[in-house]
């Protein structure tokens, strides 16, 4: 009688399919809305009640704020009533109203008996304490108290606020001639307006909103509730039930989820228990579903407060999901709701970062309530996030850098980058960028000093250079003051200049090192740079042209051109090298 009740409340028949109307049974999700006198509206998602249609039921229930549980007075709670209550408990739905309908068919004592049975069932679930209303859709008796209860329920949910970023989990996608692709779903979070750009997940496309409709009427902007969007920018095949249309960066596509599980209520009297390790179940989240293997052992398996337990879900196919999303895990055969839960991390640590998973960090993540708290907990768990390093990781690098004493910057970068990749999972490029930021912060804080290409801590301050070393440095500089210098190691041996002398020459800017064993004196490098730039100004400069102009070999020419390209003094093109953005500008 739930569809009949909705028709009495709203005037809308939620059974939209001909087969539903012929059989008098809801087969797929249907929709209706109730308009209040103050202009606000309450959307209803009419879900199938039959046990064979639980998958369709969860498509509707996955995005709801509250539940209207309907029990017929002449039947009382049925098997599907218990099953749906277990699913709602798994989803953590805490707000709702229970309605005992068809009171015109049963006497007062019978209605009271059914209401008491419903109350006892609710008490065993997350809906405990929800009000129970009795009414008859046929006579209209009790409909007004039900409307009042729905208005109070609306006010209670609206007062909580929530995420301001729009997100729509698609439950229907189809094409309309003249409008193109249309998607419908329950909009959560913020508002969507005509002209907005939204991302499609899974997938990598961006769509533009061409039209917004609410309850069959075109509007310029829509807030949370049932919404239809005409969109452009992707093929119809890219969108299906389970797709998420959103501007929220937190929505990612993942096939691994770190979750907090809790046993679903078992209203048949069996013990509440969590799935066993490696159980193969069906995950239902939003309007999506996927096969899932439950991991309840290993680092992720941690008992959490409030009866929850951390676990890792490995999915058969990737889905669009965000931290905080609620879900249920269901065994298809024999049908049973195994657990409910919420997503803690939609992209859990992999590789070496898994070693950072500890009970303390998982507990902090599960306890996070605000966006900032959640981001802080994810940073601590992963060790790195969005280019930032966790405090303990940064300090580990800092201590290693300070302990190095005096060291060339390139060598320090290599050492710290390698060390960072042993602490957290990062690409070499991202790790090198993070190391550069750490070094800059240490120099700014005074824990390190930088002298040219040399980094040292305060305890490794340079001492006065002995006269003999100064003479050796002069000899090496002179040996390198030619267009084709000998290998640096050979020149240093002939000049009797030790490694500290070479570092001192680099730090003072007296020699320019362009390779492990190739360097010019600063003066020779400046002359070669000016000659290359002059030639490149006239026409694209090729290695052969520079080789002939300098009278050197390809070895020197290629090293020089690569260094000038790196410094953006020159820029490589298919025709040759041309002046780059950092080339000196001469004005007459």
The pLDDT assigned to 269 comes to 77
Helix (H, G, I), strand (E, B) or coil at 423: coil
**In sequence order, which residues have a C-beta less than 8 Å from that of residue 540 and are 6 or more positions away?**
573, 575, 576, 577, 578
The pLDDT assigned to 454 comes to 83
CB atoms within 10 A of CB 50: 12
The pLDDT assigned to 62 comes to 64
86: its two tokens: 């277990």
Distance CA 438, CA 433 (A): 9
C-alpha closest to that of 170 among 253, 231, 241, 252: 241
Hey, which residues does 182 pair with through a beta bridge?
Answer: 174, 230
**In sequence order, which residues have a C-beta less than 8 Å from that of residue 138 and are 6 or more positions away?**
4, 102, 104
C-alpha closest to that of 58 among 169, 158, 165, 157: 169
CA-based end-to-end distance of the chain? 91
C-alpha closest to that of 155 among 227, 286, 45, 65: 65
Distance CA 470, CA 497 (A): 9
Backbone angles phi, psi at 29, to 5 degrees: -65, 140
Convert 146-190 into a string of H (helix), E (strand) and C (coil). Answer: HHHHHHHHHHHHHCCCCCCCCEEEEEEEEEECCCEEEEEEEEECC
Is the pTM higher than 0.85? The answer reads no
Residue pLDDT tens, the chain, 588 long? 788 898 999 888 866 544 434 434 333 567 888 989 888 889 888 877 544 445 566 765 667 889 999 999 999 999 888 988 998 999 899 999 999 999 999 999 999 999 999 999 999 999 999 999 999 999 999 999 999 999 999 999 888 766 678 999 998 899 988 888 999 998 988 899 999 999 999 988 999 999 999 988 999 999 988 899 999 999 888 899 899 999 888 899 999 999 999 998 888 777 778 899 999 999 999 889 999 999 998 889 899 988 899 999 999 999 999 999 999 999 888 888 899 999 999 999 999 999 999 999 999 999 998 889 999 999 999 999 988 999 999 999 999 999 888 888 889 999 999 999 999 999 999 999 999 999 999 999 989 988 877 888 876 655 556 888 899 999 999 999 999 999 999 999 999 999 888 988 887 889 999 988 999 999 999 999 999 999 999 999 999 999 999 999 999 999 999 999 988 899 999 999 999 988 876 543
**DSSP string covering 337-377:** EEEEEEEEESS---GGGGGG--HHHHHHHHH--SHHHHHHH
| Domains in the chain: ranges and CATH | 2-158 (3.40.50.300), 167-246 (2.40.30.10), 252-382 (2.40.30.10), 385-460 (1.10.10.10), 467-579 (1.10.10.10)
The pLDDT assigned to 479 comes to 96
348: its two tokens: 């859990």
Burial 118-152 (b: 16+ CB within 10 A, else e): beebbebbbbeebebbbbbbeeeebbeebbebbbe
Query: Left, alpha or beta for 63 (phi > 0: left; psi -120 to 50: alpha)?
Result: alpha
The pLDDT assigned to 27 comes to 39
- Helix, strand, coil % in the chain, rounded to nearest 5: 40, 30, 35
Distance CA 85, CA 266 (A): 9
C-alpha closest to that of 288 among 173, 193, 181, 368: 173
Helix (H, G, I), strand (E, B) or coil at 433: helix
Query: Left, alpha or beta for 541 (phi > 0: left; psi -120 to 50: alpha)?
Result: beta
DSSP-derived letter for residue 541 is B
Hey, which residues does 133 pair with through a beta bridge?
Answer: 99
The pLDDT assigned to 399 comes to 93
The pLDDT assigned to 150 comes to 94
Hey, which residues does 280 pair with through a beta bridge?
Answer: 293
Handedness of CA 435, 437, 443, 445 (dihedral sign): negative
CA angle 80, 86, 90 (to 5 degrees): 145
Q: Tokens 């599980």 — which residue?
A: 261
């Amino acid at each position: 009688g739930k569809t009949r009740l909705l028709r009495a409340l709203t005037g809308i028949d939620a059974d939209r399919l001909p087969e539903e109307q012929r059989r008098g049974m809801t087969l797929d999700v249907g929709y209706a809305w109730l308009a209040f006198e103050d202009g606000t509206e309450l959307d209803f998602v009419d879900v199938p009640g039959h046990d064979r249609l639980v998958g369709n039921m969860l498509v509707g229930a996955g995005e709801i704020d509250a539940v209207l549980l309907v029990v017929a007075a002449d039947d009382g709670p049925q098997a599907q009533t218990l099953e749906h209550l277990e699913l709602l408990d798994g989803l953590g739905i805490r707000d709702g109203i229970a309605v005992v309908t068809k009171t015109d068919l049963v006497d007062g004592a019978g209605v009271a008996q059914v209401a008491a049975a419903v109350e006892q069932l609710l008490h065993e679930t997350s809906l405990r304490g929800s009000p129970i209303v009795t009414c008859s859709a046929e006579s209209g008796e009790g409909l007004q108290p039900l409307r009042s209860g729905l208005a109070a329920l609306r006010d209670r949910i609206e007062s909580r606020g929530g995420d301001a970023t729009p997100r729509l989990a698609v439950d229907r996608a189809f094409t309309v001639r003249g409008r193109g692709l249309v998607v419908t779903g329950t909009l959560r979070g913020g508002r969507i307006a005509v002209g907005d750009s939204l991302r499609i997940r899974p997938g990598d496309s961006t769509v533009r909103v061409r039209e917004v409709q609410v309850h069959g009427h075109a509007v310029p902007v829509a807030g949370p509730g049932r919404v239809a969007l005409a969109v452009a920018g992707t093929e119809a095949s890219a969108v299906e039930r389970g797709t998420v249309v959103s501007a929220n960066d937190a929505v990612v596509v993942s096939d691994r989820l770190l979750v907090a599980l809790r046993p679903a209520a078992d209203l048949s009297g069996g013990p509440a228990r969590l799935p066993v390790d490696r159980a193969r179940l069906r995950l239902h989240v939003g309007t999506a579903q996927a096969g899932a293997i439950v991991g309840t052992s290993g680092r992720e398996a941690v008992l959490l407060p409030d009866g929850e337990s951390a676990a890792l879900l490995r999915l058969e196919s990737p889905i669009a999901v965000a931290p905080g999303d609620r879900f249920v895990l269901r065994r298809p055969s024999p049908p049973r709701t195994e657990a409910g839960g919420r997503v803690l991390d939609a992209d859990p640590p992999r590789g070496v970062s898994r070693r950072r998973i500890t009970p303390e960090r998982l507990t902090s993540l599960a306890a996070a309530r605000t966006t900032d708290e959640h981001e802080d907990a994810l940073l601590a768990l992963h060790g790195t996030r969005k280019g930032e390093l966790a405090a303990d990781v940064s300090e580990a690098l800092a201590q290693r850098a300070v302990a190095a004493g005096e060291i060339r910057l390139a060598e320090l970068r290599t050492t710290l980058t390698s060390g960072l990749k042993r602490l957290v999972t990062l690409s070499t490029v991202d790790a090198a960028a993070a190391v550069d930021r750490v070094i800059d912060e240490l120099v700014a804080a005074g824990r390190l000093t930088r002298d040219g290409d040399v980094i040292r801590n305060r305890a490794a301050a340079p001492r006065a250079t002995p006269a003999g070393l100064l003479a050796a440095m002069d000899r090496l500089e002179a040996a390198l003051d030619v267009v084709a210098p000998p290998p640096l190691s050979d020149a240093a041996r002939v000049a009797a200049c030790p490694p500290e002398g070479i570092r001192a020459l680099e730090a003072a800017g007296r020699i320019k090192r362009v390779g492990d064993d190739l360097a010019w004196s600063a003066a020779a490098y400046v002359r070669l740079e000016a000659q290359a730039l002059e030639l490149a100004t006239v026409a694209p400069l090729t290695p052969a042209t520079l080789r002939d102009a300098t009278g050197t070999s390809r070895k020197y020419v290629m090293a020089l051109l690569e260094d000038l390209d790196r410094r953006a003094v020159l820029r490589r093109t298919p025709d040759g090298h041309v002046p780059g953005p950092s080339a000196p500008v001469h004005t007459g």
